[in-house]
Amino acid sequence: MVFPDELERWIRPVLQGRTAHVMKSPDQIMEELGIAPEQAIKLNRNENPFGCSPKVNQALADYVTYNLYPDDAQTEFRELISQYVGTTPDRVVGAAGGSHVLDIIVRLFVDPGDEVINCVPTFGLYEFISDLYGAKIVEVPRDGNFDIDVNAIKAAITEKTKLIFLCNPNNPTGNITQQEDLLAVAETGVPVVVDEAYYEFSRETVVPFIAQYPNMMVARTLSKWAGMAGIRLGYGIFTTSIANYLMGIKLPFGISTPAVIALRASLQDKDYLMKNVKQLIAEGERLYQELTQIDFLRPYPSRTNFMFCVVLRGNANEIVEELKRRGILITFYDTPRLRNGFRISVGRREQNDKVIDVLRDIGASLSK
Ligand SMILES: Cc1ncc(COP(=O)(O)O)c(C=O)c1O
């Protein structure tokens, strides 16, 4: 549908011309291909293939007062997360997913025309959110190993710079940024977001340094390690003053009652969830080794539950489409910084085996 011209002029200029995301759901894609949804192997969104803790399902079923609003002060949520992280509740702010944590951070710091530094290639949401607030994105390319370029970041800072995004480990490349580099960026005094969405896989964190670098903020999620992507729960760790600001600008009731119930149950079942994380790390290493044996692929080592793979021979898009026809969803990339590649999430053992078999099969039909 074309938006009527006379109405479009009322839309904020930075948003004019935007269209809805037309992302088909995995189930829709499979239905179109005539594949039963439960047969599909979904390795395109870095979800946890083991699901959430069974205790979450039980606790959600047992709760009855869903008719009441949740606690806007996030009292229990902040308490639970602070114990999990090893900090104090007044430094924690929650939202409906790590994405929404990033959104309120940008909302706090960025005015239209301000600059946001983004170390590409990286998670696309940083640019998306910054755009919504009218920021100018300043891209500072990573090097050939996808490491950030600290000197180039420093050189890119102007008086308009309001925020720097650092994804650690980086999505979609999976690599870690050395702690000294993260701290060197924090040393500039510019507000820095360190996105630790995959912390439970990498075990790398700068949370202990927030006291020393109050401009440093950490964003995390329950989507990956706890298998709660569908429940939507994320949080950030800040200084108490930034946390107070964020609590003041977030929308009311941003964390749902089911999300808090699910968090409580997940933390009671942390050992089970961490066993799954360990298994995914081991499977990821196995998948990496197997992919290195496939001569038309170059996988990159990863500290997450996914890895990036460059297609050395053949067309990555065709390979991704062929996998799709066989019921396997992965994510295709072809950007100036990530040519002819794909990102694949680590699945359960039998899912990874299937992927490897299919990739070998595709390889056999590619001309040498
Ligand atoms: C680097 C990174 N940050 C944040 C998120 C957002 O996660 P969610 O909004 O599901 O908590 C993701 C999800 O894929 C991610 O990869």
Question: How many A from CA of 189 to the centre of ligand 1?
Answer: 25
Which CATH number goes with the domain that contains 304?
3.90.1150.10
Helix/strand/coil for 232 = coil
Q: Helix count (H) and strand count (E) of the chain?
A: 14, 13
Phi (first) and psi of residue 195, to 5 degrees: -90, 110
Most ligand 1 atoms within 8 A of CB, residue of 43, 102, 119, 123 to mutate = 123
Q: Are residues 342 and 327 in the same domain?
A: yes
The torsion of the CA quartet 114, 117, 123, 125, rounded to 10 degrees, works out to: 0
* Closest ligand 1 atom to 97 CA: 11
Centre of ligand 1 from the C-alpha of residue 365, in Å: 36
Q: How far apart are CA 85 and CA 238, in angstroms?
A: 12
Same domain, 250 and 350: no
In angstroms, what is the span from residue 101 Cα to ligand 1's centroid? Answer: 10
Looking at the DSSP assignment, which residues form a beta bridge with residue 115?
Answer: 136, 161
As for how many domains the chain has, the answer is: 2
226 and 94, same structural domain? yes
Nearest CA to ligand 1 atom 16: 171
DSSP output for 150-195: HHHHHHH--TTEEEEEEESSPTTT-PPPPHHHHHHHHTT-S-EEEE
Ligand 1 pocket, mutate which of 23, 99, 198 (most atoms under 8 A from CB):
99
pLDDT attached to residue 368: 57
CATH number at residue 77: 3.40.640.10
Residue 356 has a pLDDT of 97
Separation of CA 105 from chain center? 15
Could you tell me the two tokens for 274? 């961490």
Say whether both 26 and 95 belong to one domain.
no
| Residue 317 three-state SS | helix
Please tell me the distance from the alpha carbon of residue 212 to that of residue 182, in angstroms, as a whole number: 13
In this structure, the answer to whether residues 132 and 34 fall within a common structural domain is no
CA neighbor of 208 nearest in space, from 84, 85, 77, 83: 85
- Range of the structural domain that residue 294 is part of: 5-51+271-365
Q: H or E stretch including 84?
A: helix 75-85
Question: In the listed set 242, 269, 296, which residue is the last one of a domain according to the structure?
Answer: 269
* Residue of 255, 361, 265 lying closest to 314 (CA atoms): 361
Distance 81 CA to ligand 1 centre (A): 17
For residue 201, report the distance from its CA to the centre of ligand 1, in Å.
Answer: 14
Distance separating alpha carbons of residues 172 and 41, to the nearest angstrom: 19
The whole-number pLDDT of residue 30 equals 87
Query: Which of the residues in the chain have pLDDT under 70?
Result: 1-4, 367-368
Q: For residues 333 and 316, is the Cβ–Cβ distance under 8 A?
A: yes
Q: Among residues 235, 269, 303, which one ends one of the domains?
A: 269
Radius of gyration of the chain (CA): 21
CA–CA gap between residue 9 and residue 176 (Å, rounded) = 44
Strands 338-345, 306-311: pairing kind: antiparallel
* Mutation choice for ligand 1 from 46, 223, 331, CB with most ligand atoms inside 8 A: 223
The verdict on 105 and 247 lying in the same domain is yes
**CA nearest ligand 1 atom 12, residue:** 197
Among candidate residues 239, 269, 299, the one where a domain is terminated: 269
Contact 218, 168 (CB under 8 A): no
Residues with Cβ within 8 Å of 90's Cβ and at least 6 positions away in sequence, in order, are 78, 240, 243, 244
Q: Tokens 């020393």 sit at which residue?
A: 212
From the alpha carbon of 234, which atom of ligand 1 is closest? 11
Q: Which of these, 252, 255, 219, lies nearest to 95 by C-alpha position?
A: 255
> Cα of 195 to ligand 1 centre, how many Å?
8
- Do residues 121 and 10 both lie within one domain? no
Q: Which of 199, 221, 331 to mutate to test the pocket of ligand 1 (most atoms within 8 A of CB)?
A: 221
How remote is the CA of residue 98 from the centroid of ligand 1, in Å? 5
Q: What is the pTM of this model?
A: 0.96
Q: Do 24 and 99 fall within a single domain?
A: no
Distance CA 144, CA 368 (A): 26
On whether both 67 and 147 belong to a single domain, the answer is yes
214 plus 68 within the same structural domain? yes
Tokens of 32: 């179109």
In the reported structure, the alpha carbon of residue 360 is separated from the centroid of ligand 1 by a whole-number distance in angstroms of 30
Q: Rounded CA gap, 326 and 29, in Å? A: 11
pLDDT of residue 21: 79
d(CA 213, CA 109): 17
- pLDDT of 113 reads 97
Ligand 1 residue neighbourhood (C-beta within 6 Å): 46, 97-99, 123, 167, 171, 195, 197, 221, 223, 229, 234
Q: In terms of domains, do 255 and 348 share one?
A: no
Q: Give the DSSP letter of residue 2.
A: P
The reported pLDDT for the residue numbered 367 is: 60
Give the integer Cα–Cα distance in Å for 170 and 197: 9
Q: Provide the token pair at 38.
A: 């439960």
pLDDT value at residue 2? 55
